[in-house]
């Protein structure tokens, strides 16, 4: 019997001010599909919901809800939302769509273990879209990179500075070490 649950994050819900604009952004820029929509099941709660997914096996990976307070809060409890892309070409597609949609210039950062684009959605929530690299360096780690480089140049530059880090290892070795640690921790 394990002493620790093995939970997996599957979805999140985000309150919005302009649900139509946010739906447009997440379908056109981020490539999600609306899987369902409607009012909250309790009629006393005046909230509309839009369910979205990129995986046909998952009814929803996130939900947009009406009801965000009109007043801007100085502190945002959500630091960022993160979406995994398949490869650098898909990351470039998201970049192009974000620019076309009027988002400010995304920042391209290498964390050694991932290449990440950071930009804001229409309601100022930070989005990270990332791709795994085949390497690992201790985190936190961030290296500003030039996204206009070719995929091969990005790979070479990232591998070079990762290998210079004393904590460098392959992603495969890191995954094996973490599996061992998590098994011992359960």
Neighbours of 140 (CB within 10 A): 6
pLDDT of residue 77: 57
Bridging pattern class, strands 48-53 and 62-66: antiparallel
Instruction: Give mean pLDDT, residues 138-157.
Output: 94
pLDDT of 186 strictly over 80: no
In 57-159, the DSSP E strands lie at: 62-66, 81-84, 107-110, 114-120, 126-132, 135-136, 143-144
DSSP conformational letter for 2: -
Tens digits of residue pLDDT in 35-63: 999 887 677 778 888 998 988 888 888 88
- Residue 179 is predicted with a pLDDT of 86
H-assigned helices in 29-169: 88-100, 151-163
pLDDT at 185: 61
**Residue 64 pLDDT exceeds 60:** yes
Q: What is the pLDDT of residue 110?
A: 95
* Residue 7 scores a pLDDT above 70: no
Residue 103, pLDDT > 90, answer: no
Structural domains in the chain, CATH included, are 10-69 (3.10.180.10), 79-186 (3.10.180)
pLDDT in tens, 66-84: 887 666 666 555 668 888 9
Task: Quote the CA–CA distance of 131 and 97 in Å, as a whole number.
Answer: 17
- Predicted model pTM: 0.79
**Residue 105 gets which letter from DSSP?**
P
Task: Give CA–CA dist 66/48, Å, rounded.
Answer: 5
Tell me what pLDDT residue 27 has: 92
Which range is least confidently modeled, 27-31, 58-62, 153-157? 58-62
DSSP class of residue 72 equals: P
User: Residue 4's pLDDT is what?
Assistant: 61
Instruction: Report the distance separating Cα 11 and Cα 6, nearest Å.
Output: 16
On the question of pLDDT at 138 being above 60, the answer is yes
Q: Band the pLDDT of 168: cuts 50, 70, 90.
A: very high
pLDDT score at 144: 92
CA pair distance 90, 178, nearest whole angstrom? 27
SS3 100: helix
- Distance, in Å, from the CA atom of 90 to the CA atom of 119, rounded to the nearest integer, reads 16
């Amino acid at each position: 019997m394990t002493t620790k649950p093995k939970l997996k994050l599957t979805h999140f819900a985000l309150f919005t001010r302009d649900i139509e604009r946010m739906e447009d952004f997440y379908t056109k820029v981020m490539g999600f599909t609306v899987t369902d929509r409607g009012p909250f099941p309790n009629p006393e709660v005046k909230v509309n919901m839009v369910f979205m997914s990129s995986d046909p096996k998952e009814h929803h990976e996130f939900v947009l809800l009406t009801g965000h307070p009109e007043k801007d809060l100085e502190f945002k409890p959500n630091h960022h939302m993160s979406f995994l892309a398949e490869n650098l070409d898909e990351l470039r597609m998201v970049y192009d769509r974000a620019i076309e949609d009027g988002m400010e210039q995304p920042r391209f950062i290498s964390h050694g273990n991932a290449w990440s684009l950071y930009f804001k959605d229409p309601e100022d929530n930070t989005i990270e879209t990332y791709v795994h690299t085949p390497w690992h360096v201790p985190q936190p780690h961030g290296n500003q990179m030039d996204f206009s480089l070719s995929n091969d140049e990005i790979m070479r530059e990232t591998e070079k500075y990762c290998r210079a880090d004393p904590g460098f290892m392959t992603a495969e070795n890191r995954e094996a070490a973490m599996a061992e640690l998590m098994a011992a921790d359960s």
